[in-house]
Structure 1
Amino acid sequence: MSDAAGLGAFLKARRAALDPADLGLPPGVTRRRVKGLRREELAQLAGISVDYYTRLEQGRAKNVSDAILGALARALRLDAGEESYLRNLAAPKRREKSAPQRVRPELQQLLDAIQAPAFVFGRYLDVLAWNALGGAVAFDFARLGERNIAKLTFTGGQAKELYPEWDAVAREVVANLRAEGGRHPGDPEFARLVDELSAASAEFRALWAEHAVREKAQGWKVLLNPVVGELRLRYETLRLPDDPDQGLVIYHAEPGSESERALGLLASWVAEAPLTRANIRSSGNCRWSGS
């Protein structure tokens, strides 16, 4: 999909997601055939002509001004991440061949020093580095040949066993992936990833068609760890100033919670027995007892 076509598809999806009643608009003389705002209604809210907005949705408008993008973002009630995505599609940067991403040794040292599950993801949600506890909480990255978060979520059976709230996780991952794609619109590697996921998963196809956008920032995850059982963890994401395509994700449990205790037990287990598939198999689904 071209940048212009992607912009049009995003505008159309966001327009369809708005409820006219929430915006104080009348129901109209004729019954609405599709949900969401009509083109003329959105154009009026944004203060632009219907003809110009139609050309935007059809991918026929070029050099969209900053003022119009701002007006569209307000009319569509976009959050900061969605507005950034809109602007990236409307004014894509010059594309250069993507160099392989690498994690600085100093960053790996920082990961190893963090006494909490942590990992670094890069372009298109590829996991680039992790610490020992980060490889024990969810996926055993050291043993996996595929370390893309979206692929792990949609093309392997382990994710549905790992996440009791898989539907919510899947929706979030797709929104994160679209936000990451907006950083480099038109990148053929990203297009190949989306095509692969679309071919492999009907669930991914359905969620991708919604055009939801969410920067990976912070939130909750509920996991069923094979060693210590259920973990309810909060995560925070820190973008690296010298490479905005890389983000450091750190998980932590609420102080005094059962998950904090379980995470401590998992850290002890990792320190005593390096995580391998054999360890997981021998542990079964039993909680670690410390004996």
Structure 2
Amino acid sequence: MSNGDREQLGGFLRARRAMIRPESLGLPEYGRRRRVPGLRREEVAQLAGVSVDYYVRLEQGRGGGTSPEVLDAVARVLQLDATERAHLHRLARPPRQDAAAPAPTELRAGVRLVLDMLAGPAFVLGRCMDVLAWNAPADALLGLSGIPADERNMARHAFLDPRARTFYPAWEEVAAETVAYLRLDAARHPADRHAAGFVEELSARSPEFRRLWEGHAVAEKTHGRKLLRHPSAGLLDLGYETLALPGDPALLLVVYTAEPGSREAERLAGLTAAAAVRTPEHDAARPAVLGGSRRDAGPSA
């Protein structure tokens, strides 16, 4: 296990220990204040049925060969959900780290056709939440074609674009979900130097990102709701579904949804229709949404 793996495992376990209220597990306070929040190491060890030394070595990344049964016992004590449990197993028993395969930047023609056939806003995410392609409704909603290719990234927008807090009324929730997904994805691809550099950049430039990253939360982003405040369409409460592309596991198709006949559906249709008849003069005056300077990048990149 590398030093980086040890730090990730120890940080994750310490962060999860700190979140558990001892009284929720029936543990006494012994009439004195705790020096650290949450559970002590010896309490985790006792409840998991292992020696204190064994758990300490696990938290320090020196528990090579830790059995799945012990990891499951620790996960139970720390009240981990299925995603967090799998993350713990991955950190404690890291797979062989071969050289990372290059992140895909080109899409199959069929994927582009699927994008164009979808009526709602849809886009494809690559590693680190890079936006690789999108359809016309997504461009109308997010202004993706106006963002330089090297800045077209959902995480970068959330933390480095000052307009993000206006565009996402529930910004704190969006920020936490974004970091939790990046944390999870980074553990799945530990040899990806680009991802490591991206995290370093965001940590250096955004105190909020750095704080959330140090919390070691992990979560999937398979579906949910997203509240957006568009410059012209106003407040939109949209659902979203995230689908893995068969044959391209590093790529995700994200589709925003609105109930037929709802205010959101009508406003999305109006945005897309307005974008379809836009003149160059209108395009120059159109308010930017996610990005800074506008570039004519077309509907796919």
Please give the TM-score of this superposition, normalised by the length of structure 1: 0.90
Residues 207-253 of structure 1, C-alpha deviation per residue, up to 9 Å, x if partnerless?
11111111111111111112311111011111123222221111112
Is the Cα contact below 8 Å between 1:117 and 1:134 reproduced in 2? yes
**Per-residue Cα deviation, 1:163-213 (whole angstroms, up to 9, x for no partner):** 111111111111111111121125322221111001101111111111111
Residue 94 of structure 2 is aligned to residue 98 of structure 1: no
Q: Deviations over 1:121-180 (max 9, x none)?
A: 121212222111112222424533312221111111131221111111111111111111
Q: Give the conservation status (yes or no) of the 8 Å contact 1:119–1:129.
A: yes
How many residues of Structure 1 are paired with residues of Structure 2 in the alignment?
283
Change in CA separation of 1:13 and 1:235 when aligned onto 2, cut-off 3 Å? same
**Gapped regions of structure 1 (runs ≥ 5):** 284-291
Q: Please, which of 103, 111, 116 is the counterpart of residue 112 of structure 1?
A: 116
Aligned position for 2:187? 182
Greater CA drift, 138-147 or 31-40: 138-147
- Contact 1:2–1:186, Cα closer than 8 Å, also in 2: no
Question: Corresponding residue for 2:208?
Answer: 203
Alignment-mate amino acid for residue 133 of structure 2: A
Structure 1 position 229 matched with structure 2 position 234: yes
1:269 to 260, 274, 277: 274
The question of whether the paired residues in 1 share the 8 Å contact of 2:87 and 2:187 is answered with yes
CA drift of 1:279 comes to 4.5
Cα distance in 1 for partners of 2:288, 2:158 equals: 24
- Match in the other structure for 2:34: 32
Cα distance change on mapping 1:28 and 1:149 into 2, 3 Å: farther
Q: Deviations over 1:258-285 (max 9, x none)?
A: 21221121121232228986242499xx
Contact 2:146 2:288 in 1 (8 A): no
Helix, strand or coil: the match of 1:96?
coil
Distance 1:149 1:196, change over 3 A: same
Give structure 2 stretches of 5+ with no counterpart: 290-301
> What do the CA deviations read for 1:100-141 (whole angstroms, capped 9, x no partner)?
313211111101111001111121212222111112222424
- Checking the alignment, whether the CA contact within 8 Å between 1:95 and 1:184 is kept in structure 2 is no
Runs of 4+ in 1 over 3 A off after TM superposition: 274-277
Letter in 1 for 2:58: L
* Counterpart selection for 2:65 from 46, 63, 66: 63
- SS of equivalent to 1:227: coil
Counterpart Cα distance in 2 of 1:147 and 1:78: 33
Identity among equivalent pairs (%) = 48
- Deviation of residue 29 (structure 1)? 4.3
For the Cα contact (< 8 Å) 1:138–1:162, is it kept in 2? no
Larger relative contact order (CA 8 Å, sep ≥ 6):
2
TM-fit CA distance, 1:8: 1.1
Over the aligned positions, Cα root-mean-square deviation in angstroms equals 2.1
CA pair 225-282 structure 1, distance change in 2 beyond 3 A: closer
Confirm whether residue 252 of structure 1 aligns to residue 254 of structure 2: no
User: Which 10-residue stretch deviates more, 252-261 or 198-207?
Assistant: 252-261
